[in-house]
Structure 1
Amino acid sequence: MSVPPQLERAHLIGIGGAGMSGIARILLARGAKVSGSDAKDSRAFLSLRAQGARIEIGQRAENLGEPSAVVVSTAIKETNPELAAARERGIPVLHRAQALALLMEGHRVACIAGTHGKTSTTSMLTVALQHCRLDPSFAIGGDLNESGANAHHGEGGIFVAEADESDGSFLTYAPSVAVVTNVEPDHLDHHGTPEAYTAVFTEFVKRIQPDGLLIVCGDDAAASALGEQAGVRVQRYGRTVTGEDDARVLDYQATDTGGRVRISLRGEEILVPVAVPGEHMALNAVAALLAGIELGAPVDGLAEGLGAFGGVRRRFEFKGRAGDVRVYDDYAHHPTEVAAQLRAVRHAAGSGRVVVVFQPHLYSRTKTFAAEFAQALSLADEVVVLDVYGAREEPQPGVSGALIADRITGAGVHYEPAFDRVVPLAADLVKPGDLLVTMGAGDVTQLGPEILAELDRRA
């Protein structure tokens, strides 16, 4: 498939980001000339450079060269020297979502949206379609454990994409199949109010092709309500759905390796194995199954693919074992995600205790949901709360991890704002048989291997 003319010589600012590196990977596979820059080196650069990308560390105007377009994400500020130079020289500037929309042209597009579960659901659908030998193109906000990649240019005429609502940029897409897993207020730093956040999903479903399909979780009131407003076909899934075309969950059983979900669909019972733990993941698998059926894949093949799904990096990712202590890493950074994941972790821990090292993400989210985070984290036995990972935000007076730690009940609580003290503290807390999970969207992901090394050293 050809490269869109606007992207024949693309320069990506922040090329190491999850979304940007995926676009670069697809462009390179299609034969485009790709350059980019980032503030620091990244493991993603190894494969991109091997494919022919020119990548500079540090951002300077002279890095631009002569691109046909400059691609940016919302995180890139107008003061960025490369973006400022592109504006001054009249070089077209595209948002990441606009570039991805150009790459989708000529494909049958499936977009997965929702406050929670979109990365996992997109990944499940991708792997299930690959198992059916349909070779989809895909762009995901995480690396598949099967391939280690977050994006791929396929030859199957299907494009599967995670649709990010955080900045409203998913309104650029016009999918023929759309999934909305749930809708719960988040990213209020951008949207401002819960009502505005919900409204952007209403606009998203209006973007579905007239002959397309909207798939929503019927157990989530806000997601289900979108189906009432959609001007396209709607299919629901969940325990509470009753429509003739809906996928009703009859039963979920946890297993040692994940779980099994049994559904009723158009008068037929289907058993779907899920290779990752938690009923929330089983619901994601059902959504992926429905989207795959709509895209023309066989039910049996999709179910087999879902059973073989190996997970996504940072989604309850096993990091290793030190003696009888298992260590995992998870991206959960919203109270609902934290609670759902800890319920799954509890089953995986068996008779052992659950120890969580949690790093709040964004000052605005911490301030808004401190009580909800505390309630979710109370499901663990021991909790270490780090200070806030600010990401794109400046610190707010009085907002720290202590807002959450001070509200946790029913668990041992340890607030540790000093990042370098977390590893020995976590090593002190765990006992043989425990399951420890590092959790959050920031650099807490670095700590799992360090905790394992410290436990090995002590042993």
Structure 2
Amino acid sequence: MLESWEARLANQDATLRVHLIGMGGAGLSAIAAVLLELGVQVSGSDRQPSAVTERLATRGAQVMLGQRAENLTELAPTQRPDVVLISSAVDVHNAERRAAEALGLPVVKRDVFLPALLAHRRLIAVAGTHGKTTTTAMIVQTLRTGGIDCGYIIGSDVPNFGSGAAGSAPEFVLEADEYDRMFLGLKPEIAVLTNVEWDHPDCYPTPASFRRAFMQFTETVERDGLIVACTDDEGVRQVLAYVPTRGPRAITYGTNEGADLRALEVRSLPGLGVQAELVWWNAPQGQLEIAAPGVHNVRNALAALVVGVSCGVALDAALAALRDYRGSARRFEWKGEIGGVIVIDDYAHHPTEIEATLAAARRRYPERRIWAIFQPHTYSRTKHMLYRMGESFDAADLVIVTDIYAAREMDDGNVHARELVAASTHHAIRYIGARQEVAAYLGEHTAPGDVVITLGAGDSYQIGEWLLELLEARA
């Protein structure tokens, strides 16, 4: 009897063929990088070329442009993939997916694929509405600098690490995505809960359904495992109360008085850094220092410290590793400064994330004029969080809202970005739909000393890049 693709993947069979539809996306491209390092035969497609697909091709992946049925139907039967991995954005109408199903190929999402890929690893899964990418990256930095060659999958490129690697140590650090309930297929030994705040209304219609999924996630943790939880967050506290007494043990972190690992006296440093005093189980443990702004990043670093020490990294070595952390792509990413105008990009697209990013910017640039350029992400999120989004820009001086980025959704006409502007209480907010028009407007109206922050999980980062080009031409 032939061995299943799951067993072959778990055993790192070099003859296994994996095809990824949407391989240029953050989630699948990192998996592709891990597979290539393991020696698995990788092919895949994406709608358009990118630096990510070029990098995968350089490493040995067969990259096809366009998600066409012919990508699979024109292959000889002996050259067809053993399994097809698809992203959540690949719907049932996708021509390539339909061709795979017609050929009888297994078509799976990450919740089925990842357990086989990570079958023999000590899984560290980082979950939460906000901060997953940064926390995952900080944990990887802590472990690898501390001498543990962990594998990892991160939802963003990280300097010196990229987004995915197989690693040689048993430990594997995974950014565990709650969308489409992907994280419920995992079996972590260590689970991190950064926060639990309602999101993805297209998948979780109510806050209770969202919170229930995280409760289910805690049930997947090994019984003798560890839950690392931020008790600054009310949602996390509710989920933690659900964990049975005889279940995994928990270590809590945060700035609140009841946390096991606490950060006190958080203060800004020159540049983008922050510093805080550490207290662990009521004992002073020195200072935490990171080159990333905001109290939210202090919390992310606390999670990395707990995981690092739990995996055997000395606390001093973990603190030293975090001092060298330099952020990841699209997380308060410095894009440039021309003519005295600073441009920063951030992935923030949930109201709480927007508030945290702008608060960090205000703390870093207290005297400067801050522009918030926000691209709403998905119609469902914008519709359900309209007024909450409208209240999230208070730390900015001027706000521009662009057209909504559809992502995986279709415009049903039920919400428009203008409604977000109308719902906002901000005194200086306006709608400019097209990104190119936003860049042109900023080119005419920004002045030396201004800070422009592009916000959103779509392609809003291009606005800042175009602005820098305009400013350079003007200079």
Q: Equivalent residue of 1:199, what SS?
A: helix
Within a 5 Å distance, the mapping from 1:335-354 to structure 2 comes to 335-354=351-370
Match of 1:417 in 2: 433
Give yes or no for contact 1:349–1:434 (8 Å, CA) kept in 2. no
Deviates more, 1:57-66 or 1:324-333: 57-66
Deviates more, 1:406-415 or 1:24-33: 406-415
Match of 1:260 in 2: 275
Within a 5 Å distance, the mapping from 1:295-314 to structure 2 comes to 295-314=311-330
AA aligned opposite 2:334: F
Structure 2 residue 101 is matched with structure 1 residue 81: no
Structure 2 residue 36 is matched with structure 1 residue 21: no
CA distance in 2 between counterparts of 1:303 and 1:352 reads 31
1:98 shift after superposition? 2.4
Match of 2:4 in 1: none
Give yes or no for contact 2:421–2:429 (8 Å, CA) kept in 1. yes
Kindly report the root-mean-square deviation, in angstroms, between the aligned alpha carbons of the 2 structures. Answer: 1.6
Structure 2 residue 456 is matched with structure 1 residue 440: yes
Match of 1:189 in 2: 202
Match of 1:430 in 2: 446
Within a 5 Å distance, the mapping from 1:143-292 to structure 2 comes to 143-147=157-161, 149-230=162-243, 231-242=247-258, 246-257=260-271, 258-270=273-285, 271-292=287-308
1:410 shift after superposition? 4.3
Match of 1:120 in 2: 134
1:429 shift after superposition? 2.6
Give yes or no for contact 2:191–2:226 (8 Å, CA) kept in 1. yes
AA aligned opposite 2:403: D
1:343-400 CA-to-partner distances (Å, cap 9, x unmatched) read 0001222421111111101111111112111111132001111011111111132411
AA aligned opposite 2:102: E
CA distance in 1 between counterparts of 2:204 and 2:110 reads 19
Which structure 2 segments of 5+ residues have no match?
1-8
AA aligned opposite 1:178: A
CA distance in 2 between counterparts of 1:381 and 1:409 reads 13
Give yes or no for contact 1:6–1:68 (8 Å, CA) kept in 2. no
CA distance in 2 between counterparts of 1:195 and 1:225 reads 11
Match of 2:6 in 1: none
Within a 5 Å distance, the mapping from 1:22-37 to structure 2 comes to 22-37=30-45
Q: Equivalent residue of 1:417, what SS?
A: coil
AA aligned opposite 1:16: G
Structure 2 residue 467 is matched with structure 1 residue 451: yes
CA distance in 2 between counterparts of 1:101 and 1:306 reads 29
CA distance in 1 between counterparts of 2:403 and 2:305 reads 39
Aligned mate of 1:63, from 27, 48, 71? 71
AA aligned opposite 1:74: S
CA distance in 2 between counterparts of 1:7 and 1:345 reads 50
Specify whether residues 430 and 158 from structure 1 end up closer, same or farther in structure 2 by C-alpha distance, changes over 3 A only.
Answer: same
Count of residue correspondences: 456
Specify whether residues 56 and 409 from structure 1 end up closer, same or farther in structure 2 by C-alpha distance, changes over 3 A only.
Answer: same
Deviates more, 1:10-19 or 1:373-382: 373-382
Give yes or no for contact 1:3–1:30 (8 Å, CA) kept in 2. no
CA distance in 1 between counterparts of 2:151 and 2:413 reads 45
Percent identity between the two aligned chains: 38
Q: Equivalent residue of 1:156, what SS?
A: coil
Q: Equivalent residue of 1:140, what SS?
A: strand
CA distance in 1 between counterparts of 2:146 and 2:47 reads 40
Give yes or no for contact 1:10–1:69 (8 Å, CA) kept in 2. yes
1:267 shift after superposition? 4.0
CA distance in 1 between counterparts of 2:357 and 2:437 reads 25
1:80 shift after superposition? 1.8
Match of 1:51 in 2: 59
CA distance in 2 between counterparts of 1:233 and 1:345 reads 36
1:188 shift after superposition? 0.9
Give yes or no for contact 1:177–1:294 (8 Å, CA) kept in 2. no
CA distance in 1 between counterparts of 2:171 and 2:15 reads 20
1:95-120 CA-to-partner distances (Å, cap 9, x unmatched) read 12322222212111100000011111
Normalising by structure 1, we get a TM-score of 0.96
1:79 shift after superposition? 2.1
CA distance in 1 between counterparts of 2:52 and 2:231 reads 37
1:174 shift after superposition? 0.6
Structure 2 residue 344 is matched with structure 1 residue 328: yes
Match of 2:3 in 1: none
1:117-151 CA-to-partner distances (Å, cap 9, x unmatched) read 1111001111111111211100011110233x111
Q: Equivalent residue of 2:469, what SS?
A: helix
1:325 shift after superposition? 0.9
Deviates more, 1:319-328 or 1:96-105: 96-105
CA distance in 1 between counterparts of 2:223 and 2:13 reads 27
Q: Equivalent residue of 2:140, what SS?
A: helix
Structure 2 residue 140 is matched with structure 1 residue 132: no
Match of 2:86 in 1: 72
1:69-92 CA-to-partner distances (Å, cap 9, x unmatched) read 111122111222222122122212
CA distance in 2 between counterparts of 1:291 and 1:241 reads 20
CA distance in 2 between counterparts of 1:335 and 1:146 reads 30
Give yes or no for contact 1:318–1:327 (8 Å, CA) kept in 2. yes
Normalising by structure 2, we get a TM-score of 0.93
